[in-house]
Amino acid sequence: MKQRGEKIAALTAYDFPMARLLDEAGIPLLLVGDSLGMVVLGYPDTTPVTMADMEHHLRAVARAKPRALLAVDLPHRSYATPSEAVTNAKRLVAAGAEAVKAEGGLEILPQIEAIVAAGIPFLGHLGMLPQHVHEEGGYRVKGKKEPEHKALLADAEALARAGAFAMVLELVTPPVAREISEGVPIPTIGIGSGTGCDGQILVTPDLLGMLPWYSLKHVKPKLNAAEQMRAVVTEWKRGVESVALNQNEETQSH
């Protein structure tokens, strides 16, 4: 798709019905992201997510048998060493994944090379690394400072050399994201990194407006699903209550 100049639309999926819907819409890349920790499991960030959590949701998505390429995140602390990375990547493949994703560049190069050598397609992730949110003291745009700029370029080149088939660029300043996209042969999938990437990915509940409790700068919901769901449930509840009220009135009249 990159060679043909086609932009890549990617979204997250955490369960069977959403995977079916997104696949029917023609999304070519689905990611079972560890973002499920925040948008499904109610954690404050992605760091508490376990391999068991990822396997559980991955299996649900895989049951939809999507035509899309199905990738999944290796969760926090699951790829500290090359052997651990391969072991856990194989667990995720056994649960239905066609590719795995991990955060980082040169610092996890041995793990990436081991995963690729094991015959498992690898999706990279550079820029803001959600699994490192505590060490970095929050979420912030990367690449504004020259040392970060150079480090991102070096990491991107290393990912391409190591055999990654694509990379996510999260919260990378748009000029740097464009430079990376033009400089590496593999696709870049941006999130909050401008339009110069080869594709875009969003957390699906963010796109659909299902999480009104969060305010995100990098995404404007295309649907107000939360308010629509509240309205439908409220209307249904009133219907149930009115039936019960009518039945009580009929009973009393007799």
Q: Which residues are catalytic?
A: 170
Going by C-alpha positions, the residue among 127, 71, 77 that lies closest to residue 96 is 71
Q: Residues 14, 32: contact at Cβ < 8 Å?
A: yes
Q: What number of other Cβ atoms are within 10 A of residue 130's Cβ?
A: 22
Alpha helices, H only, 67-126: 82-94, 109-117
Q: How many CA atoms lie within 13 A of 24 on its CB side?
A: 7
Q: Helix H segments across 143-224?
A: 146-162, 174-183, 204-207
Helix, coil or strand: residue 37: helix
**Residue in the block written with tokens 């376990």:** 50
Strand partners, 200: 9, 190
216 contact partners, CB below 8 Å, separation of at least 6? 206
